């Protein structure tokens, strides 16, 4: 199997996440996702509930 040197070199480089990715990664939790998803059922009938939760989550 042929593997060029550039491919081998890329496999050795450490992968670091940008600071922004680390910050949002800590915020991206299952609880947060479930909360937004459960509020989505109110999007048509009571938009203030859904959009209020979305606004609070966005800050």
The conformation of residue 1, written as its DSSP 8-state character, comes to: -
- Would you state the pLDDT for residue 16? 74
Q: Does residue 5 or residue 58 have the better pLDDT? A: 58
Cβ neighbours of residue 32 closer than 8 Å, sequence gap 6 or more: 57
Instruction: Give the span between the Cα atoms of 40 and 28, in whole angstroms.
Output: 17
CB 39 within 8 A of CB 53: yes
Q: Given a cut of 60, is residue 59 above it in pLDDT?
A: yes
- Residue 3: which pLDDT band, with cuts at 50, 70 and 90? low
- Condensed to tens digits (0 to 9), the pLDDT of residues 13-54 reads 677 777 777 777 777 788 889 999 999 999 999 999 999 999
């Amino acid at each position: 199997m042929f593997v060029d040197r550039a491919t081998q070199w890329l496999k050795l480089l450490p992968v670091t996440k940008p600071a922004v990715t680390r910050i949002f990664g800590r915020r991206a939790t299952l609880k947060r996702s479930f909360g937004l998803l459960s509020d989505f059922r109110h999007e048509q009938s009571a938009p203030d509930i859904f959009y209020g939760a979305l606004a609070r989550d966005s800050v």
